[in-house]
Structures are given as structure tokens and as C-alpha cells.
Structure 1
Amino acid sequence: MMGFGDLLQSLETTTTRVLGSDGCLDGATLRAHALAIADALQARGARVIASRLDNGPDWLALDLALRALGLVHVPLPTFFSPSQARHALARSGAELLVLADDGSSAGDAVRLVPGLRARFLATWHTPLPVGTACITFTSGTTGQPKGVCIDAPALLTVAGALVGAARPLAPTRHLCLMPLSTLLENISGLYGALLSGADIAVPPLGDVGYSGAAGLDVTRLVASLHRYAPHSVIVFPQLLSALVMAAEQGVALPASLRFVAVGGGRVGPALLSRAAALGMPVFEGYGLSECVSVVALNRPGAVRPGSVGRPLPHANVSVVDGELHVEGVRCLSYLGEDGPPSGPIATGDLGHVDDDGFVHVTGRRKHMFITSFGRNISPEWVEGELLQHPLFAQAVVLGEGRPFNVAVAWLRDPEADAATVQSALDAVNAGLPDYARVAHVIRAPRPFSSAGGFLTDNGRPRRDVIARAHVDAIAHAYDELDPTPLPMELNA
């Protein structure tokens, strides 16, 4: 199998170009830039290098330099809070932090190469598994991010599998819409494109309209799609929903798109149907950091709506007591902890594999609740249906131990009257079985955001936090809709 040294050497003759906001680099220039960074890093003698950079050619060149040297890269998302960044730096034992060069020479910051500077960190040695090449941090559902240690062969194995999956569509230009510090974009958008000889567009996130989990400028997003005319992009469900709504309102999307991969959360079938009706080439997938990102993917010639596709060659998916288990490529360990136990990894995701091998994900085991009628409900399923309606921008469904469900929701039109909200809710409920329907919508006073503590940094709701913040409104909804007092013997 090709290693990163081979990949770096191949840049001398590759057709790959890296497109940024200030122009483009050919493969040979990218390689020279990476080698210059490698020389500067070698002079510093550090083993674990963290970075906090916006998308751009420098990010890619730095990552390739670290791979060539066999050092450990700790890419920190720019959307991490200061406390999360400090936690990740301390846990990883990073000795240097690479930042964009703003001309500052304060403290112990040193210039590495034009465009990049590094700051020495007061740290201590952290034991890492042998072969660690990358420590990716995922916030999950807790406040502090959790590190996952991954080796270089695993990164390239998954990247190669993704190249094979997309090969029938022959994409030769990829536009990075997600942070490069995101493992999915790092593997698919960078390594996958390099392995296939495709161009890589890496404009700053602001240029593509991205501003974290709660912010997206659709006008900028569409303008970037037209500017770079990509064949492939990777999007979260929220970005796909925004593009579909824009197209439905008459906004033209570039005809160049051949492969729109969507993942990172449940995608409702209604949204996928709307995308298909517009002719958008959307392919839903599924993965997790412990399995080095993508596990399964719908792909040309193997698409089943409602599924996340068949497993890629490096993964095998089975079901144990309704939970998906994955065997194959895996992480080395959690940072400072043991890795997943030997054997298939229990994902915590509920689902099944159909007779044709397509994987279906229905929710998270830990989010499952049981109504007072004994019906098991995965809230992600119901939330996914709500979010397919144009009125609902964000929603969390609750109903543990209750006779019916309620939703706390942020509306795209906060001024919508009660009749409009009820009409939208009726339309959603019409497609749900009676036990899963939402009886009442509690309006959130503001969007859920990671800054406000209501979302993780990758956009997933913190359910307990949202429920606590709206506890009075939730109690009032149940009192209003179910005023029947408990029998005396149960009310004691």
C-alpha cells in the first residue's frame, strides 16, 4: 500500500492543484512547501505538533510535512472554545502549536515559513500508542473534547476505499466545505483527492459561508460552489437542507456536481427525496472516529434510499441486540485511555442490515426513551421528520415516561403564528405512527448554538441542557394537554 512518503513524492508529477482564495499551487509547489515546513519543524525537535488553522493550502502542506516526518498532528478546530482548545493541548502533550502568521513576535512565537508561525507550549510527555499519526478530537455530547489516536495506514486505507467508491463518477475536483480539522474532510477531501490526482479547493471557511454549527450564509455557499465548480463535496445534513431549499426557490446550483456525500447525522428520507427531485447527486454515508471515519456509503450503482449504504471494503457491520457493531479498520486508542475492546466496536447506534447488505441507522441507544404506553422511540427519527419541514430549523423531541411527545424547536420564522405552527406540525405528524407523533411544539427563544451550550461543537443537541433550560414550558405543555389528575392511589 502507498505510504505518505510515496504520496508526497508523487506530487512532483501529479496533476493535482490546490486552489485557495489567493490562487493555486501545483503538485510540485505544494510538495516544496511541505518540505520547507518539515525542515523548519525538524529544527524545533518536537514530536507532537498541534495546529489551529483555517482551511487553506497551509493546512494541507503542514499536514503532509508532519506525515513525511512521522510526527503526530493534533488538528484543533477553529470553532473550539478557548477552554476546549486548552484541554486538547494539555491532554495531547503537544509541544508546538502552529498558527497563521499574523506578523506577531510576542512571547515565544517563532516564524516557521511565510504564512505560519509556531508557539512553544509548556507541557509534559503524554504516552501515545506506537504509530500514532493523528489525534482527532470529537466533542461528542460532553463539554470537553475526547481525543482518538489513529495511525497512518488506517488513514490511507479509508481514503483509498472512498476513492474506489467514487471512481465510477470520476470526480476530479473536490471543494472542502467542512473544516479540514474534521476527520471526514481530512481523509476524504484531502487524502482521497491526492490519491486520485484530483484538484482540491480549500478556501477559508468564511468564504464558503460557514460560521459553525449555528451559522451559514447560503449566498456565499452557493457563490463558492459556482466559483470552484467542484465535482464532489461533503456536507452535513444542515448544509444539504440549505442547498435543497435554495434550489427549490430557484437558486441555480453548479452543473459540475457529481458526488454530494452527506453524513454526520440522520438525513430524513423526505430531504433526500427533495434532493433527488432536483437532480442533486446525493449519497448518504455513515461513520465514526473510532473506525477512522467512513464505514458505509451509498455509491454509484449501489444506492438504497433510507439506508447509509453498504459497508466499504475495510469494514464489516453486524447487529447485536439492535445495535450496530463494526469490525475492521479501527483507532489505536482513546487519548490517555485504552482503545475499544478487541472484536467488533459497539457503536451505540441503533439499526439493522437488510438482506442486500445495506445498513440502516435509526437512532442512538442512549437517546432512546420509552413512553408511558411502553413504546420505544428514537428521538432522532422524529426530529429528522420535523426538520424536513421548512418551518422547523432545529428540534429536540422529549417524551420519557409520558403519554405523548413534545418538541422544543427553533423556527425559521420566529414570528409564525400558532395556526401556522400547528399546520406544519400536522403535516409532519401525518407521516408518523400515532405513538411517535408530537403533540405540542415549545418555541425556543433563540437558536440552539454551541456558544450557548445547547449544541456540541459538531452540531448535535445537548438534550439534557435543552430540557433543563425549558423545564417550565415543558411542564406547562404536559399540564395543558393532559390535565386529567392521577388516580388518588397514584398521586399519594
Structure 2
Amino acid sequence: MREFTVPPVITGAPVGGLADTVFQHAHEEPGRVVLGRKTGGVWRDVTSGELAAEVLALAKGLLAQGVRFGDRVAVMSRTRYEWTLFDFALWAIGAQPVPVYPTSSAEQVRWILADSRCTACVVENEDQAMTVGSVVDGLPELRLLWQLDAGAVDALVADGRGVSEDVVHRHRGAVTPDAVATVIYTSGTTGRPKGCVLTHANFMFEADTMAGHWESVFQASPGEQPSTLLFLPLAHVFGRMVEVAAVRARVKLGHQPVLTAAELLPGLAAFRPTFVLGVPYVFEKVFAAARRKAEAEGRTGPFDRAVETAVRYAEAREQQAFGIGPGPSAGLRVEHQVFEKLVYGKVRAAMGGRVRHAMSGGSAMSRRLGLFFEGAGITIFEGYGLTESSAAATANPPGATKYGTVGPPIPGCTVHIAADGEVWLHGGHVFSGYLNDPRGTQEVLRGGWLATGDLGRLDEDGYLTITGRKKEILVTSNGKSVQPAALEERVRSHPLVAQCVLVGNDRPYIAALITLDPEGIAHWLSMRGLPQRPAAELVHDTDLSAEVRRAVVAANTLVSQAEAIRTFRVLPEQFSEERGLLTPSLKLKRRAIEKAYAMEVAALYQS
């Protein structure tokens, strides 16, 4: 199959802007709980009426400080309650938030703020304020800087007390669906981030489609309020879409700023969401934590048997859903029930005890992991999308999940497989182009179709499987996109290094395979009065490893922490054309290298 379309579930054209939802809900149900705010380690409920009042007060403060309709305001922070306030307050006055990763380097911050011509910036803490300050000379249009941890919200609210509420509402009334809602920067083909321009209509289409078609996910059991804990970065389009969808669908939303397992698992246990939206990394960590606990308690054998049972049970249910099997046998159902209390219930308890559904995106999840969670009572709907498609373009639907695929197109979207295998997308979620980059826009928008740069195939049911990337951007398992060329070049510039290849696709972090330059090694030994030795004998030399580490550290200064090389392996021989690892023009054959050194790559990710 070369093309597949799913009819839309949304009827009628979008109206107004994203901030309208906040005030509409406050008018209809002022006492309904819509947010959870953690203060002093305790979660406090925030109602629709309270949220609208806070958004209005902050919007008045922004106007008082000179933020105007159409202005762009950078937000550099971890995922926290105040980010959501700023998003909706800025949308209420027709301004455009520009998200910046909190770990971004000074050069990345300078580029994003300069390219987007931000007039103001919100940071979380003093370190980020200093990062912005270090490049402020190159940002002539930046006039205002607010720091959340220094009381920015309270100060702005105080500044806005003299501004009439009507002024905010007049601004809000002027926002139309085709107005720009945000500019989100993503890695481009040159390695320099590109600003994806997304409209209010893009967000409305995406959020309302997800909430409508995946109603079982966005609803809760009788007597429960639907809720989700947002732990994805709000600087990422997936996190922003979760934020918007939760508010529009009246789902209680909490914010979790730290994604590490040590912080996330207690957060899930305390907030007790009914569903979560995450990246494969999160589900991998939950599984790994469960297995480590079983191992510590001397129950590795039963745990592994429970995993096998869950996988077989889920596979049988999957076959039944597609009419190719009878479902789990009586014996398998009994075996599955035995492990429900022993293992599966404990896995769900680790996620708060109420989670029955999840959505995963950002990178590929292993089929086996998805089947395990399905068998353990948590259905994970895996999807696929880009910043340019306002997050999800495909996703597995309720009742018909094919693990190992990213599902069919979301309703109202079409997926087309081009002649070269590239995935093209069409629908109301596709962005309007790159900011200040008409050539880049022309390269990816072709007659209304978004050429994704990813390779894939559609099966007979219209389910998409991503098979690779046309360009060599790495995507880690936590969804971070990394352009390897600049890092590799910087490492390779060290005199002891001959070649450098980054790995990290669908893995938790970036790592590197490095080969040594024979002449550089000979000189290094000579200068130290050491006998000459072949490079193969030096791969474990501590002094040489320290030298190579310096090259890695220097390269890491070019990028954020999430993009940095975490670890590396020095190889005993160089990549060569003879071994099929280089092209005739000496370009690296990345897939061939990773396959040839599969054991070395695996060792880089062993904890």
C-alpha cells in the first residue's frame, strides 16, 4: 500500500485561539479541577475558575510590561506549572511563546532568540539567566528578562493590576485560528535549529483529534477524574500538545520537572494519573526498575516467567483483534491471572496504580516491551510524528493496536509513501513552514504534503512502520534529535583521532565509536619518550583515553546536555572501504559500522 487516509472525527472549522478554552471552561464549570500544582511537596487542586483568573492576571502584567500582539517571548525552563500559565497568558494577548530547552548551550540560545527576534525571555533560574546574559549583546531586540525562581509571576501580576480586563479580552478576540501560536525549533539538515511555525489551528486540530478518537484514553473509570502527569519537556512539541489537549479535554494536568526514574516514579505514585503520555525511555525505566526489584528479592525466575506470559497473552489478544486468532487459551488465561497479583499489579502500582492507557512517541518502542505492558494491563498506543506535524501524525487506535508499528494515520490525516520510500504527510496538523527559511520550507512542503525525511512502509491495514531516516539525524529513546556531523567533526579534529561515529538511535543517550590516527599516536608516544606501539595495543591505555576524553568534552561544548556524547569506545582499527565501512569518497557507512561493531555498541549501554 502506498497511501492511506483516515476520515476526520472533527466537524466544523476551528474558531478563535487556544486561550479561549481557559475562559470558556471557567464560565461553564468554574469549580471543576483542571490542574494539579505541587507546593511544598503536596499536590493542590486548581479549578477552572482559578486557572482563568491566574492567566488573566499574568496576561495583564505582560501587557503592562510592553508585550504586544504578535511579539515572540522565549520560555526556557523545565516542565512546571508556570510554563502553562505563560503559554495561555501569551496566547490570550496574541503573543507567541518560543520554547527553549533548559539545557541549551549559550550559542543555541543566541541563535533561537535572534532568529525568532524575541523581545522578552522567561527563564527558570539564575544559571539560565546567566546563559541568556552571556549572549545578550547579540540580541538587540531582547528588552525583558523574567526569572521564575525570583518571583517573576508575582511581579508581573502586581504590574498588571492597573490594566483593564477588557484590554486582555480585546486582544484575545483578535486571535484567529490561522494566527501563529508558537515557533518550536528543531534540528535541521545543516545542524542549525529551524523554527517550525505552528498555528492555533494546528494545535486545535491535533489536540481535539487525539482527545476525540482516543476517548477511552482521555476518559477515566466511573467515579474517577481523568488525569495525566506531564513529564515530557514543554520545549518539545509532544509535551506542548499534551498540555493543550489536557486543557481542552478537561483532563486534570500535573507537571513533573525531572524525568529520571528516581524522581518520576515517586511522582507517578503521588499524583496517580489515569493515563500518561511519554517516550519509550520512560516505559523502559519502569520495566527495568520492576525487574531490578524482583532480582533484589530473589524472584528473577518468576518475574521472567510473568514477562513471557504477558507477551504471549498480549499477542493472542492482538491476533484476536485482527481476526487471525481465537484469543488467549483457557490455560494462558489462568497462568496470566496467577501473575496478576504477583507481578502485573505491582508494575501498575509503580505508575500510581490507576494507569490503564498510555501513548508513546518520539522514537521506536520495541514490540516486546509494548506487548509486556499490554499483558500487564496497560495499553500503550505508539505513534509517530514530527514538530512539523504538530506531534502525532499516526497512532495505534483503541481496540486495534499492532505492536511494532506506529499505527495508521490519525483521523483527518493521509500518509503517502513516496517512490523512494519517504513518508509524506497531509492534514490539518501540518505546519505552515520554517521561520525565515523559505528554501528550507520549500524542501519539505511539496504541494501541501510534508516530506518527513523518514523512510517507512504501510501494511495492508494502513499501519505505518518506520524503517529508517533519509538523513542522518539521531533520535534517542527520550525523543531528543541530534545532528551528529558537528560533534563528530569536533572530536575528529583532535590529533589522536582518525574517525568518529555517533550512535544513539532509540537508545537513552549519545555515545561514540572512535578510531585512532597512527601518525598522531606515533607523535604522542615519541613526545613522552615511550616506545612505539601499534594503536591496537593502546585502546585501553588510561593516559590515551584521557586525551580522547578531552576531545569529547570539547565537542560537547557545542551542544546541550541531552545531545552530548555520554560515553565512547576507542576501537583497535580504523573503518575502511575494504571492510565495507566507507564509501569510495570515504563517507562513513553508519549502518554498516553499527552492525560490524554491534557488541561494542551494546557494551556502551550496559549499566
* Length-normalised TM-score, structure 1: 0.70
Give the counterpart of 1:453 among 549, 556, 572.
556
For 1:121-160, what per-residue CA distance to the aligned partner results, in whole angstroms no more than 9, with x for missing partners?
A: xxxxxxxx97222001123576532211111111111011
Structure 1 contact 174–233 (Cα < 8 Å) conserved: yes
Per the alignment, in what secondary structure is the counterpart of residue 21 of structure 1?
A: strand
User: Are residues 1:275 and 2:328 paired?
Assistant: no
1:333 to 2:433 alignment: yes
Shift of 1:258: 2.2
**Which residue of the partner structure matches residue 221 of structure 1?**
264
Identify the residue that residue 440 of structure 1 maps to in structure 2: none
Determine whether 1:247 maps to 2:268. no
Q: 2:45 maps to what in 1?
A: 24
Between Structure 1 and Structure 2, how many residues are aligned? Answer: 392
Q: Which amino acid aligns with 1:11?
A: H
Question: Which position in structure 1 is the counterpart of 2:199?
Answer: 151
- SS of 2:214 mapped into structure 1: helix
The 3 A distance-change label for structure 1 pair 479 and 322 is closer
Task: Verify: 1:183 aligned to 2:282, yes or no.
Answer: no
Once the two structures are TM-superposed, the CA of residue 263 in structure 1 deviates from its matched residue by 1.0
**Selected match of 1:131 from 175, 179, 184:** 179
- CA-to-partner distance for each residue in 1:233-252, whole Å, 9 max, x for gaps? 22222222111111233464
Q: Aligned with 2:102: secondary structure?
A: coil
Can you list the C-alpha shifts for 1:361-387, whole angstroms capped at 9, x where unaligned?
Answer: 11112249xxxxxxxxxx999966xx6
Distance 1:308 1:242, change over 3 A: same
1:225 is displaced (CA, Å) by 0.7
3-state secondary structure, aligned to 1:178: coil
Q: In structure 2, what is the Cα distance between the partners aligned to 1:151 and 1:113?
A: 26
SS at match of 1:266: coil
Structure 1 position 360, deviation (Å): 0.9
Amino acid at match of 2:214: A
- Identity among equivalent positions (%) equals 26
Residue identity matched to 2:422: E
Report deviation, 1:451: 9.5
The 1:144–1:461 alpha-carbon spacing in structure 2 relative to 1, beyond 3 Å, is same
| 1:165 shift after superposition | 3.0
* Residue in 2 that maps onto 1:416: none
1:202 matched residue in structure 2 = 255
The DSSP-based 3-state class of the residue aligned with 1:311 is: coil
Higher relative contact order (CA 8 A, sep 6+): 2
Does residue 315 in structure 1 map to residue 416 in structure 2? no
Cα deviation code 1:72-122 (max 9, x no counterpart): 1112121212221111000000001123487x9x9965776417699xxxx
Distance 2:405 2:281 in 1: 18
Code of the aligned partner of 2:388: E
Residue type of the partner of 2:244?
A: Y
Closer, same or farther: CA 287–84 of 1 in aligned 2, 3 Å: same
User: How much has 1:16 moved relative to structure 2?
Assistant: 3.7
In structure 1, the residue matched to 2:456 is 351
Q: Which runs of 5+ in 2 are unaligned?
A: 1-13, 134-142, 159-176, 221-225, 294-346, 474-500, 515-547, 581-607
Cα–Cα, structure 1 residues 354 and 109, in superposed 2: closer, same or farther, change >3 Å?
closer
3-state DSSP of counterpart to 2:461:
coil
Question: Taking structure 1 as reference, are residues 278 and 164 closer, same or farther at Cα in structure 2, changes over 3 Å only?
Answer: same
Deviation of the 1:27 alpha carbon: 1.3
Q: Which structure has the highest helix share of the two?
A: 2
Cα separation, 1, equivalents of 2:93 and 2:437: 25
Aligned partners of 2:559, 2:203: CA distance in 1, in Å?
25
Query: Alpha-carbon deviation of 1:315?
Result: 1.5
Task: Provide the C-alpha distance between the structure 1 equivalents of 2:100 and 2:253, rounded to a whole number of angstroms.
Answer: 21
What is the CA–CA distance in structure 1 between the aligned matches of 2:114 and 2:437, rounded to whole Å?
A: 15
Matched residue of 2:371: which SS?
A: helix
Give the AA of the match of 1:66. L
Do 1:234 and 1:261's aligned partners in 2 also have CA atoms closer than 8 Å?
yes
CA shift, 1:477, in A, is 8.0
Contact 1:232 1:259 in 2 (8 A): yes
* 1:11 equivalenced with 2:116 (yes/no): no
Q: Report the 3-state secondary structure (helix = DSSP H, G, I; strand = E; otherwise coil) of the residue aligned with 1:249.
A: helix
Q: Alignment partner of 2:368: what SS?
A: helix
Residue equivalent to 2:209: 161
Mapped partners of 1:186, 1:348: distance in 2: 23
Preserved CA contact (<8 Å) 1:48 1:94: yes
Alignment of structure 1 residues 55-94 onto 2, 5 Å: 55-94=79-118
Matched, 1:324 2:423: yes
Change (3 A) 1:355 1:382: farther
Kept in 1, the 8 Å contact 2:180–2:197? The answer is yes
Q: Please report how far the alpha carbon of residue 55 of structure 1 lies from its aligned counterpart in structure 2 after TM superposition.
A: 2.1
- Do structure 1's residue 230 and structure 2's residue 273 form an aligned pair? yes
SS in 1 for 2:471: helix
TM-superposed deviation, 1:290: 1.3
The 8 Å contact of residues 8 and 68 in structure 1, kept in 2 or not, is answered as no
Q: 1:358 to 1:382 in 2, by over 3 A?
A: farther
Residues 223, 112 of structure 1: alpha-carbon distance in 2 compared, 3 angstrom cutoff? closer
Query: Within 2, Cα distance between the matches of 1:259 and 1:275?
Result: 10
Question: Structure 2: how far apart are the matches of 1:451 and 1:299?
Answer: 45
Q: Which amino acid aligns with 1:307?
A: T
- CA shift for structure 1 position 342: 2.3
The alignment partner of 1:54 has SS state of: coil
User: Could you tell me how far apart the structure 2 residues matched to 1:116 and 1:176 are?
Assistant: 25
Residue 16 of structure 1 contacts residue 194 of structure 1 at CA under 8 Å; is this kept in 2? no
Cα distance between partner residues in 2 of 1:157 and 1:288? 15
**Which amino acid letter does the alignment assign opposite residue 185 of structure 2?**
F
Partner amino acid for 2:197? C
Q: Gapped runs of 5+ residues in structure 1?
A: 119-128, 211-215, 369-378, 399-444, 483-492
Deviation at 1:163, TM superposition (A): 0.5
